[in-house]
């Protein structure tokens, strides 16, 4: 089975059109000549964003990510968040052209399947079709452990309640996405709707359903005790890691 693009057409609501145009314009002016293409994913390009609740997710592709100074990028975000309070947060991922073309099951998947091109040539068109397979699932999760450890540490040390809420929501979403990747061969498609992901996990995964329901509840309402959440999150990740290791061992036995 070949993965199809999550967003097949761009439908931006009127409340967000000026914001998106201004973000792209600011990025191009600030980093003149260094931007290959700009992409979006999530609710805004799908046309289902909720004013004052939804965030904006951008991806910048360039020759050298080091050319994009994070402080200057952060200044752009701060200015736009002040000007457009309809957006709660702006996330920007930066990757290189080589990342997309040479890591098709990681960055290639992200740009080709998850994102839509807002500016420049869509480099995702140069990524070969992505076939759902154990090899793809393993490659897709190559950095999951590092990401989970990073957010676990950040959440453990967070003192600000707003940060705690954001980390818990983000960590819940990341773990649900990881679990969903395990059932791709069953679903045959990538979903970016968390509720749909949760239901697929409950249908096809052998994990305790209470753990999945807890994560989903935390994604919707992150007002929980950090220690309790981390305990559940660690239990979920342990299941995921064991499943991934089993998949890797099975793949090796056929080589």
Which among 8, 99, 18 is positioned nearest to 56, based on CA atoms? Answer: 18
Q: State pLDDT tens for residues 69-91.
A: 999 999 999 999 999 999 998 99
Q: What is the percent of the chain with per-residue pLDDT over 70, rounded to a whole number?
A: 98
pLDDT(255) > 90: no
Contact between 149 and 143 under an 8 Å Cβ cutoff? The reply is no
The pLDDT of 5-31, averaged and rounded, is 95
Number of domains in the chain: 2
Q: Are residues 155 and 99 in the same domain?
A: no
Q: Are residues 145 and 249 in the same domain?
A: yes
In a domain, 7, yes or no: no
pLDDT band for 3, please (50, 70, 90 cuts): very high
Asked which of 84, 99, 131 is the last residue of a domain, the reply is 131
CATH of the domain at 52: 3.30.460.10
pLDDT(183) > 60: yes
pLDDT band for 250, please (50, 70, 90 cuts): confident
Distance CA(214)–CA(212), nearest Å, equals 5
Q: Are residues 115 and 177 in the same domain?
A: no
For the chain, give the mean pLDDT.
93
In a domain, 97, yes or no: yes
In a domain, 4, yes or no: no
Q: State pLDDT tens for residues 112-164.
A: 999 999 999 999 999 999 999 999 999 999 889 999 999 889 888 888 888 88
Task: Pull the structure tokens for residue 174.
Answer: 């990341």
Beta-carbon count within 10 A of 49 CB: 21
Which among 47, 59, 118, 49 is positioned nearest to 88, based on CA atoms? Answer: 49
Distance CA(198)–CA(187), nearest Å, equals 12
Distance CA(164)–CA(215), nearest Å, equals 15
User: What integer pLDDT is reported at residue 253 of this predicted model?
Assistant: 55
User: What integer pLDDT is reported at residue 1 of this predicted model?
Assistant: 87
Q: Are residues 115 and 142 in the same domain?
A: no
The pLDDT of 27-52, averaged and rounded, is 94
Q: Nearest 5°: CA angle at 93, between 248 and 48?
A: 95
- pTM of full prediction above 0.75: yes
Contact between 93 and 126 under an 8 Å Cβ cutoff? The reply is no
Distance CA(99)–CA(106), nearest Å, equals 8
Task: Pull the structure tokens for residue 71.
Answer: 């402080």
Tokens 């909720």 correspond to what residue? 50
DSSP one-letter string for 128-176: PP-B-SHHHHHHHTTTHHHHHHHHHHHHHH--SHHHHHHHHHHHHHHHH
Asked which of 100, 131, 162 is the last residue of a domain, the reply is 131
Asked which of 131, 148, 181 is the last residue of a domain, the reply is 131
pLDDT(196) > 80: yes
Q: Are residues 176 and 112 in the same domain?
A: no
Print the domain residue range for 220.
137-253
């Amino acid at each position: 089975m070949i993965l199809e693009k999550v967003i097949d057409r761009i439908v931006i609501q009127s409340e967000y059109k000026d914001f998106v145009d201004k973000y792209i314009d600011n990025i191009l002016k600030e980093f003149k000549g260094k931007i290959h293409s700009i992409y979006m994913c999530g609710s805004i390009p799908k046309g289902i964003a909720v004013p004052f609740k939804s965030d904006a997710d951008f991806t910048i592709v360039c020759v050298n990510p080091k050319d994009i100074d994070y402080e200057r990028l952060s200044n752009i975000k701060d200015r736009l968040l002040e000007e457009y309070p309809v957006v709660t947060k702006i996330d920007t991922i930066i990757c290189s052209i080589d990342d997309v073309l040479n890591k098709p099951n990681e960055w290639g998947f992200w740009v080709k399947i998850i994102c839509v091109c807002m500016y420049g040539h869509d480099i995702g068109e140069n990524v070969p079709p992505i076939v759902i397979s154990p090899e793809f699932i393993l490659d897709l999760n190559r950095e999951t452990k590092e990401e989970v450890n990073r957010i676990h540490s950040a959440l453990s040390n967070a003192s600000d309640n707003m940060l705690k809420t954001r980390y818990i929501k983000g960590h819940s979403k990341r773990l649900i996405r990881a679990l969903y990747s395990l059932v791709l061969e069953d679903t045959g498609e990538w979903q970016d709707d968390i509720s749909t992901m949760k239901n697929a996990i409950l249908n096809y995964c052998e994990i305790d359903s209470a753990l999945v329901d807890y994560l989903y509840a935390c994604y919707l309402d992150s007002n929980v005790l950090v220690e309790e959440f981390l305990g559940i999150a660690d239990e979920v990740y342990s299941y995921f890691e064991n499943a991934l290791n089993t998949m890797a061992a099975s793949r090796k036995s056929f080589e």
